Each structure stands twice: as structure tokens, then as C-alpha cells.
Structure 1
Amino acid sequence: MTPSLKAALVNGLLFPGLGHLLLRRAGRGCLFLLPTLLAGGYLLRRMAQLIMPLAEQVASGALPFDPELIAQRVEAAGLAGPAGNLAALVLLVCWLGSVLDALWLGRQHHH
């Protein structure tokens, strides 16, 4: 297995930009790693802000443990919104971009 294919797999299966470390391209890997961390952190923080009050309501009995009702509350909270959509897009672009970039680096190396 070529180093670029290993890097692409690490980027795709573990974390974007991490595979670039195998190629000794840490700076280039950070172009994928840092935005992914920021976007993922934003989404996780928003999700926690949404889930904690719902969990407390379920635990206190104020909200019945009804998956459909809970899903409606989650949807109404608007996690997706413009900022959430942008963060999800950043994650997608970084994930795909890091895989393709690792493969591209391997292709350049062989030419």
C-alpha cells in the first residue's frame, strides 16, 4: 500500500488532515484538521445545548419519553440553521478534500 493511499484512508476513516502527517505534510494537514475541529466543536456544543434541557425534562417527567415528540423538539430547535449548515458543509468539504488531497500528493510524487 502506498503512503498516499494510507494517508487517504487515515484521513477518511479517522480524521481529516491526520493522514497528511504520514506524508510529512503537517502544515497542509492543518488546512483540513483545524477547520474540521472548529466545525465539529461548534456542532457538538450546539447539540449539547439542545440535548441537556431535553434530557432534564425527560428525567423530571415534564417531557414524556416519546421518541417522536423528542425528535419534533430537536427539529424545532433549529440545530441545522445557517451556521449549523455551514459547519456541516465545512466538515464534508474537509473530509472529502483531505482524502482527495492525499491521493493527489501521491500522484504528484510518482510523476
Structure 2
Amino acid sequence: MTLMLPSFNARTGDVLAELPATSPAAVDAACEAAAAAFPLWQAATGAERAALLRGLAAALEADREALVPLADQETALGPVRLNGELDRTAFQLRRFADIAERGEPFAFVDDPAVAGAPPAG
């Protein structure tokens, strides 16, 4: 018997979908696939890493029309907040792409803490 996990509408409590739980064997297979892929990623150039990161950002933006309403149903955070989160994530992915392209993914950056509560601190 497959364990099913419900996804709930955060506003109504209604079940949106019943999703099958991932089996331990599937988790093991995913971990093994990730470990097998690591040497290829480790050997990737900054340009190759940047291309992947930019592709991920573009894919998020391209799927915005489906992702934001679904995330809103599941979280009730609202489309304004969720569009902002998607924009922030795409921005960060592109920033990481720029850093990788410059060959700086492993450079040490001293970014000292700023006193105070966010957004100042």
C-alpha cells in the first residue's frame, strides 16, 4: 500500500491533491544519482554553471502563471508576496550566475553583520 500525503488549501482546509509519499528506495536512488552527478558539476566551468543558474531563473519566471496561484493555495501568502519571492529567487540565481561566470564561486567574502533589525541589519 502506498502512503498518500494530502496537499491542503491553506484558506479553506480542502484537500487539493493526494500525493504519493516517496519510498526509501526512491530517496536512496535520488541520493545516488546526485552523488554520481557531482563530479560533472564539480568539473563544470563558471560559464557552464552560470548557464544552468540562468536557465533555472528563466524557468521559474516562465512558469510564474502556474506556480504563484498554486503556492498561494498552499500557503495563503498572497500573489504580491509570492511574485516577490519568485522575483527574489530569480535575481539571486542570476547573481550567483554572474559570480560563477567571473570564476569567484569559492572566493572568500567578508560580509560583516550590520547591527539592527532587518532591513537595515
Per the normalisation by structure 1, the TM-score is 0.29
Q: Could you say which structure has the higher strand fraction? A: 2
Which structure ranks higher in relative contact order (CA pairs < 8 Å, sequence separation ≥ 6)? 1
Greater share of helix residues, 1 or 2? 1
